[in-house]
Structure 1
């Protein structure tokens, strides 16, 4: 990822932070809409899960400039997800839900350049 794309993602995430609860709600609603079979992988009460999502995004976004520092954490998270039944194919669906969330949450600020930067970011994190 280029420094410019990292900066775009980090600057946009500053706009997402104040609407974190709403963003998590949009994310999971869309995820379960496009992939209802994934719902059974999650707890009935999603409040803790939504908080974890936003915390994980925050850590990843804030460390994009030094991704190697969070690689062990991301790898551990990936291993946990395997034990929950997550398959490689699910990452595309999650990426789609994330981009949808950003489009809704950021509105006109979600430019094609920002979409590309977030797509690259998600690809880098998901590859881990």
Structure 2
């Protein structure tokens, strides 16, 4: 990611953080709409608590984008933990789509092509790493 992309992601997330509960509801609603096969993975979860965890994790990741190597160990642990929950590499694409859609809804007119590209790059970078880490557990 370029420094400009990192700055875009961080500035935009600061606008989403105050509506984090609503954003989490939008995210899970969209995720279950576009990938209903993942809904059973959340059957035992309190979705409000899960939403808080999601937004907290996003805050850590977004804040750490300026020093990506510092957040990779936590991303590795998270990826490996998710394997135990039944998360498969194919689940990462709809999660990314739901995330981008949620950000677009939450940011409205502030959602620009440059911002979409920055978030896509951030998500692709992190999810690719997490998939590789998850695959290392499966192997």
TM-score (norm 2): 0.90
Runs of 4+ deviating beyond 3 Å: none
Alpha-carbon spacing, 1:64–1:44, altered in 2? closer, same or farther (3 Å): closer
Residue 118 (structure 1) aligns with: 119
* 1:29 match: 29
Q: Which whole-Å CA distance do the structure 2 matches of 1:29 and 1:11 have between them?
A: 25
Residue 17, structure 1, aligned to residue 17, structure 2: yes
Uncovered stretches (5+) of structure 1, i.e. residues with no partner: none
Alignment partners' CA distance in 2, 1:19 and 1:83:
30
Per-residue CA deviations over 1:84-108 (Å, capped at 9, x if unaligned) read 1111111110000000000100001
1:80-91 superposed matches below 5 A: 80-91=81-92
Q: Cα 1:83–1:44, aligned 2, differ >3 Å: closer, same or farther?
A: closer
SS of the aligned residue for 1:70 comes to helix
Partner of 2:87: helix, strand, or coil? coil
Could you tell me how far apart the structure 2 residues matched to 1:44 and 1:6 are? 32
3-state SS of 2:46 partner: coil
1:1-128 alignment runs, 5 A limit: 1-42=1-42, 43-128=44-129
The TM-score, its normalising length taken from structure 1, stands at 0.97
Q: Whole-Å Cα distance in 1 between the matches of residues 45 and 87 of structure 2?
A: 17
CA distance in structure 2 between the partners assigned to 1:21 and 1:109 by the alignment: 19
- The unaligned stretches of length 5 or more in structure 2 are 130-139
